Amino acid sequence: MRTTLLILLLSITASAPTASDCEGTVTELLDRIEDFPPEMDTGKLAELLKCLYAPAAQYVNEYDSFASEKSLEKIWNETNQNRLRVIKVLAPLTRSDDWLLVQETAAALAYYGYPPSQELLSSYPDGPIKAVLYSILGYKRSYRWAIDQFCRLERQSKPDSSALVAKMTYLNLLYHLAMPASLPFVNSLVDSSQPEMIKARAELIGQRIRSLHPELK
């Protein structure tokens, strides 16, 4: 069945591909990437790569339901059919001299659950999309990054609704990682003057960490 991979959030990158760029199945997009003429501007190729991980944006929008094991299972099941070909086609692009191309390739590979992409993903622009990709990879070391991003938003003088969505996405990453080292930060949110939504998510994270690490109880 044909699908159209649309960019759901402008926060994916500064320049998002158009709906027409992303039209077609994943197989068709991979065909276009594989047949991309080497003499053409790699910026166009980067736009095609964005299309492969564009669905990650919906998990920023759906931040309330993303804090569950089933959400990652859903992504894994949806990407499973094309995972091996995505890796085969994209992995060689990580050796490109074009750093933007490497960033976009790492993001696409991360969405398809390719662990070696996690180090390259560190250079991808900070934001909620990156948190979703780290969640998919289960990249343990990113828990500190998530806390830093949350605190950075806290320092903004005029937080808005987009900041709240971003904060929830960073907390969702902490939920999926369930790192004991993040427990002091999470506990501090539970006992803070944060919005109830934030406090409830922090409480959920704490419960998950303690359930997975009984020695902390």
Domain final residue pick, 115, 138, 161: 138
Which range, 12-21, 115-124, 208-217, has the best average confidence (pLDDT)? 115-124
CA 17 from chain center: how many Å? 17
Final residue of a structural domain among 84, 108, 138:
138
Number of Cβ atoms within 10 Å of the Cβ of 104: 28
4: helix, coil or strand? strand
Task: Give the residue from 109, 138, 167 where a domain finishes.
Answer: 138
Same domain, 96 and 162: no
Q: Are residues 166 and 113 in the same domain?
A: no
Are residues 176 and 110 part of one domain? Answer: no
Q: Please, is 68 exposed, middle or buried when counting C-beta atoms within 10 Å of its C-beta (0-12, 13-18, 19+)?
A: middle
**Separation CA 48–CA 212 (nearest Å):** 39
Residue 11: pLDDT over 60: no
- Shared domain check, 118 and 178: no
User: Number of structural domains, the chain?
Assistant: 2
* Residue among 176, 171, 177, 212 at smallest CA distance from 192: 171
Residue 16: pLDDT band by 50, 70, 90 thresholds?
A: low
Whether 48 and 4 share a structural domain: yes
DSSP characters for 57-120? GHHHHTHHHHSSHHHHHHHHHHHHTTHHHHHHHHGGGGG-S-HHHHHHHHHHHHHTT-TTHHHH
96-131 tens-digit pLDDT = 999 999 999 999 999 999 999 999 998 899 999 999
- 129 and 63 share one domain: yes
pLDDT score of 41: 83
Domain with 105, as residue range(s), is: 1-138
Q: 126 and 202: one domain?
A: no
Planar angle of CA 137, 142, 144, nearest 5 degrees: 160
Residues 127 and 169 in one domain: no
